[in-house]
Amino acid sequence: MKSFKQKVAAITGAGSGIGQQLAIALAKQGCHLSLSDVNEKGLADTVEQTKSYGVRVTSKKVDVADREQVKTWAVETAQNHGSINLIFNNAGVALGATVEGETYDELEWIMNINFWGVVYGTKEFLPYLKQSKDGHIINISSLFGLISQPTQSAYNASKFAVRGFTESLRQELDLENSGVSATCVHPGGIRTNIAKAAKMSDSLKSLGMDPSKSIQSFDKLLRTPPEDAAQVILNAVKANKPRVLIGNDAKVLDGLQRILPTGYQTLSRFAAKLTQKL
């Protein structure tokens, strides 16, 4: 896909952060948009920022953890736009908790959004992308889909799952020669509201960690502007890259994991302790 002009893109989590910036960047390039988010206020703001570019913009409140809602949105997108070329499965949430301390409800909550939301978005939009014969699936994993961190077991699990799912999907699409491809995105610290919206469990105290301080430490690591991340993603789609890392932190830590596939865990533990002292 060398151009987004006159294409149709669907984006989850479009009410803020990377999703919002993807919508704006695509609109500037003449791409029609179908936007979704659970945050109707943020979604309306994104629509307002994109409608001046002369493209068709539709929006819908969608909880990506609800398969029927995602299915309905996909059907309505096809009806409203006639075709669909891109699906950006971007919506996600964060949770800080120990394995022992996190509840099953918390595990199901994060997996339903971060993993099943990607699965639903992929499966419900894929038939329409194949019909276009020029489609692309972009699934947002994380740096934490490449390396693990203490207190991030649930988040790690969801993002590692997205990575495995997407890499397998891309190989299948290549074997089919379907005209559709897939890219897995691994952002590092992107300046979004994910840290402030994260759930932090009191179970962190068992590791000597302050939940509120953990949020502050997490937020300090979010340095890359979301508009920069959006541009990297769109460039990767045009280049049909199977994987894209965003931010120097993602590149450095990915390299560290390759050099020290198990030894990096010692450094992760040290860093976790250090952030509590800063």
Is 53 exposed, middle or buried (CB count within 10 Å of its CB: 0-12, 13-18, 19+)? Answer: middle
Nearest to 256 by CA among 247, 268, 246: 268
Angle at 247 between CA 259 and CA 212, to 5 degrees: 95
Is the Cβ–Cβ distance between 247 and 189 less than 8 Å? Answer: yes
Q: Which residue has the tokens 């699990």?
A: 157
Put residue 54 in one of left, alpha, beta given phi > 0 → left and psi -120 to 50 → alpha.
left
Provide the pairing of β-strand 199-200 with 243-246: unpaired
Q: Does an H or E element contain 137, and which?
A: strand 135-140
155 is catalytic: yes
Which candidate in 53, 120, 128, 155 is catalytic? 155
The residues annotated as belonging to the active site are 155
